[in-house]
Amino acid sequence: MFAWIKQKTELQKLQHAYCKLMKNAYKLALTDKSKSDRLHDEANQILSQIKKIENQSVL
């Protein structure tokens, strides 16, 4: 009932940011390759942070 009150975890925030950057990079790939590449690089950095957090939670 009060799911909208529940705070997002750091992992959820990073996953949301990654998804948003990848969507924007895909849209920009059709018009501006350099901006798309920059967004894709940022998304890859976030992906590496996500993997670190997931690996820590497994251990």
How confident is residue 58, by pLDDT bands cut at 50, 70 and 90?
A: confident
Distances (CA, A) of 42 to 3, 29, 52: 30, 15, 16
What's the confidence (pLDDT) of residue 2? 63
50 with 11: CB under 8 angstroms? yes
At 7-21, the pLDDT tens digits run: 889 999 999 999 999
Compute the distance between CA of residue 25 and CA of residue 6 in angstroms, rounded to an integer.
29
Domain coordinates in residue numbering, the chain: 10-58
Q: pLDDT tens, 20-52?
A: 999 999 999 999 999 999 999 999 999 999 999
